[in-house]
Amino acid sequence: MTTPAIQLMNTLRSGNSTAPRLTWYGPEGERVELSGRVLDNWVAKTSNLLQDELDAEPGMKIRLALPPHWKSMVWALAAWQLGLETILDDGGADFLVTADPDLLNGKAAGQAPAGGTYDAVIAVALPALAMKWPGELVGGCLDYAAEVRLHGDVFLAHADPDPLARAISGSDGREHLQQDLLGGFAASHDDGVRLHIPAADGLEAVLSNALGAWKQDGSVVVTHPDVQLTDKLLAAERIHGN
């Protein structure tokens, strides 16, 4: 069964698939630009990692303990495409995705900082060119940078996601179902918008605004809090209204 997340990925990889859809400005001059096709490629590989390597199934929960970042957005899209519920707070989940596996404080892999347990813990190195996690990982943690490239570029679900299952719970306490992801959770934006989203607004706001822009065939530019939003950057990225 097709859900809005699946429809969105179909749209991003078809039509004008070479157009920029997600541009990230990170610290120290880092700039990453993903076309619809490349974004879909990352999402497909991540979905395949979840499904084929970690046995993720629709209805399971994944905690994204990540800062606002282009890789965080990939993980959220992959989770929704698979039919998982994303957890952005410290609630319980089947999987933990983190840029700081030291949060485990040396405990046995699979144990959450709050005392809960995870089926798997995935460590995400944030630098764009990272080919593996820099340094030692807590035993049992999966190295996303090293593993994701081993998975296929096309995602074929083993089971249909349930459109009536939760996709995410917002900070306002509202629960958004898979079938309502683009209707209730996504922010409202104009057709074809080139939208600037400050990472300082938080991951929930970044995801909501990005979904709203993509829904309208638009694109987004996400900037790290350390990046100065200059007139030169705004002009180069064709951002208006900031």
> pLDDT (tens digit, 9 = 90+) per residue, 84-123?
999 999 888 999 999 998 776 544 444 444 435 899 999 9
| Residue 41 contacts residue 7 (beta carbons within 8 Å) | no
| Residue 215 contacts residue 197 (beta carbons within 8 Å) | no
Residue 221 lies in a domain: yes
Residue 112 lies in a domain: yes
Phi and psi, residue 97, nearest 5°: -115, 120
Give the distance from CA 172 to its chain's centroid.
20
Total domains in the chain come to 1
The CATH code of the domain that includes 120 is 3.40.50.12780
* Segments forming the whole domain that contains residue 113: 4-236
Q: Please tell me whether residue 223 adopts helix, strand or coil conformation.
A: strand
The Cα 105–Cα 114 span in angstroms is: 11
DSSP state of 66: -
Q: What is the pLDDT of residue 104?
A: 66
Residues in the chain, pLDDT under 50 = 106-115
- Give every strand in the sheet of 20-25, ordered side by side: 31-35, 20-25, 219-223, 194-198
Tokens at 113, concatenated: 């900082």
Residue 242 lies in a domain: no
Q: What is the pLDDT of residue 117?
A: 82
Residue 29 lies in a domain: yes
The Cα 120–Cα 110 span in angstroms is: 6
Q: What is the pLDDT of residue 114?
A: 41
The Cα 4–Cα 13 span in angstroms is: 14
Residue 33 lies in a domain: yes
The Cα 240–Cα 24 span in angstroms is: 17
pTM: 0.94
Radius of gyration of the chain from its Cα atoms, rounded to whole angstroms: 17
Residues 6 or more apart whose Cβ sits within 8 Å of residue 7: none
Residue 225 lies in a domain: yes
Tokens at 129, concatenated: 């060119």
The Cα 67–Cα 137 span in angstroms is: 19
Q: What is the pLDDT of residue 112?
A: 45
The half-sphere exposure of 152 on its side-chain side, counting CA atoms within 13 A, is: 8
The Cα 174–Cα 202 span in angstroms is: 17
